[in-house]
Structure 1
Amino acid sequence: MNMAQQQPRPWTSWHARTVQVPAADQPTSKPDVDAEVHLRAMVSFSGEDDAQDKRPTIVFLHFWGGSARTWSLAAPAVAARFRCVAVDLRGWGGSASASSAEGYSMADMARDMEGVVAEVVPGGRQGGVVLVGLSMGAKVAMLVARRRVVNVVGLVLVSPAPPGPLVLPESMREQQVHAYDGEELARAAAVGVLTRSFGEENKELPRFVVEDMLGGSAGAKAAWPMYGMAEDVSEGLEEVKIPILVLAADGDVVEPVERVREKVLGKLHEGARMVVLEGSGHLSPLDVPEKVAEHVIAFVEGLGSGGRFIFEDVTTYC
């Protein structure tokens, strides 16, 4: 399939949904964190005609600094074959902010995603979900799968942040907190650090990339470098016995291939597979969206009716 020729217009046939995520019976972080949060999701199915569809629904989670639009170059090709949902995580895009600085923990965002799945996926959890998470979104996806509240039948972890704790030196942490403080800083991060093709190949960076970085709430911008990276969601992760595909990138300076192999793949069950995308930086859904879409489609199609398969090769380069 020539993805470049068949790529639909971004968000054609998608519609926006606002999802109210209710309070948890037991608070997942601190007691004073929000009773509820309103999240915005882009949905690629009607929710009525698809009610009997037994195939999984694909749920996309973005990186720190992104929104559902992060997936707008890759997701439409996937949506041509499967039901898809792309979510603005709390504090980003069109979603509401948390009511306190402590409201952006991995557990809070995992609970949000569980609420989105319960609200948006036709028939509740009938066909199960495949979570496709990028960077911070991948860490959230791993926690959702580990918690087993929703029926996650597969994970695609794209340039994933490690599930274990990462504590930055104070100077580096402060630098990251302010990385999106202005348009010039945000663009420099996007072109010089997070992507590869837009600097080396002189491609035009999509306008929404910088807009999303600037548009995040102050709490959401600070939370990831201040405490989100340091959270440990790795306990019991190797017991999550579902198909898992890790997509690393050969030009990723944020999560280099060897660190992903050691800190992510090494924490998963032995059947998990890693593919290294060539010609891409950290944000492969922007650098090489066709490749990302191809791998997501192949992964979901490979699940089959039983939702199980074992990879033979641990690492593939493409």
Structure 2
Amino acid sequence: SSTSSPTLLLIHFWGGTNQIFSPLIDHLSTTVTVVAPSFHGWGESTETNDDCASQDAYEIADYAEYIISLLLANGIIVLGHSMGSKIAYLVRGLIFVASAPAASFVLPDEMREQQIHAYDEIETAEFVIRNVLLGRPESVNGQVVEQIAREAVAGVQEAKRAWPAYGMGEVYGEDVVKTVQELAMQKVCKVLVVGGELDRVETAENVEKNVVKVLEGAGAKVEFNVLDGVGHLVPVEAAEKLAKTVERFVVQI
């Protein structure tokens, strides 16, 4: 890849690993440098030591510190997917895909318990992927669904529990507004937000209300794209469309 191109840092969703971005990376230009880590507790970064057994190891701020440690050069553009977007807020992310809001949101007790156990077994994980995360069950082939399910089930239990149990409820709304306001005062703060028309987890309406409007209110120049026929797993359901949208945005930065 070209050394003059911006580095695109990809942050995965809860239950995923860096492999969720493989289809997207395949469609990105070779001039785009990509860094796609898996957070501790997921994928090849899965650990079982005492540091990763505590609740504190999986708070949004701690994940953000991990990402900040990767930002060693200028020209970084952060793309966060779902939970990854909430982390990206704290590292001044610029691209939010099927984004969770920076503000707190709390699920009803029964729904929270369902989410905590959603990735306990392959069968339940595949059901969630097909019937909740994908816009349409047939959006991707069975092999891809199985791979995503296996990655979700393989996560450390504390990491699987963290997002529905307390990560969703962490509050960063005021910090995000303040940061965007500071950036907007120095220069135009450009943000790309991408949603899925069929997303049941972060609906396009909620993304517009809780992400786009909040960022615009803080002074950011926001481009909001809703991809037709796409659910929550945008990087695999619409990899080519997302790649083109991202590349078009990147050249404007």
- TM-score using structure 2 length: 0.89
| Runs of 4 or more above 3 Å deviation | 200-203
Shift of 1:229: 0.2
Q: 2:12 corresponds to which residue?
A: 62
Among residues 154, 160, 173, which one is paired with 1:234 in the alignment?
173
**Correspondence 1:104 to 2:58:** yes
Alignment of 1:115-264 (within 5 A): 115-118=69-72, 125-126=73-74, 128-145=75-92, 155-197=94-136, 199-200=137-138, 203-206=141-144, 207-238=146-177, 239-240=179-180, 241=184, 242-264=189-211
CA distance 1:200–1:92, change in 2 (3 Å): same
Distance 2:140 2:108 in 1: 33
Distance 2:31 2:20 in 1: 19
Q: Which runs of no fewer than 5 residues in structure 1 stay unpaired? A: 1-44, 119-124, 146-153, 304-318
- Deviation track 1:144-179 (CA, whole Å, cap 9, x = no partner) reads 11xxxxxxxx61100000110011111111110000
Distance 1:76 1:140 in 2: 24
Q: 1:23 corresponds to which residue?
A: none
Residues 191 and 205 in structure 1, CA contact (< 8 A), matched pair in contact too: no
CA distance 1:99–1:156, change in 2 (3 Å): same
Shift of 1:205: 4.5
Among residues 2, 24, 30, which one is paired with 1:74 in the alignment?
24
**Correspondence 1:274 to 2:224:** yes
Q: What letter matches 2:63 in structure 1?
A: M
Between the aligned residues of both structures, percent identity stands at 35
Residues 99 and 202 in structure 2, CA contact (< 8 A), matched pair in contact too: yes
Q: 1:28 corresponds to which residue?
A: none
SS in 1 for 2:232: coil
Residues 157 and 245 in structure 1, CA contact (< 8 A), matched pair in contact too: yes
Residues 135 and 198 in structure 2, CA contact (< 8 A), matched pair in contact too: yes
Q: 1:40 corresponds to which residue?
A: none
Q: What letter matches 2:26 in structure 1?
A: P
Residues 250 and 257 in structure 1, CA contact (< 8 A), matched pair in contact too: yes
Distance 2:18 2:227 in 1: 22
- TM-score using structure 1 length: 0.71
Shift of 1:266: 1.6
Residues 197 and 203 in structure 2, CA contact (< 8 A), matched pair in contact too: yes
Shift of 1:230: 0.3
CA distance 1:217–1:291, change in 2 (3 Å): same
Distance 2:143 2:132 in 1: 13
CA distance 1:210–1:201, change in 2 (3 Å): closer
SS in 2 for 1:130: strand
Distance 1:116 1:79 in 2: 22
* Greater fraction of residues in helix: 2
SS in 1 for 2:94: strand
SS in 1 for 2:68: helix
Shift of 1:302: 1.7
Distance 1:202 1:232 in 2: 34
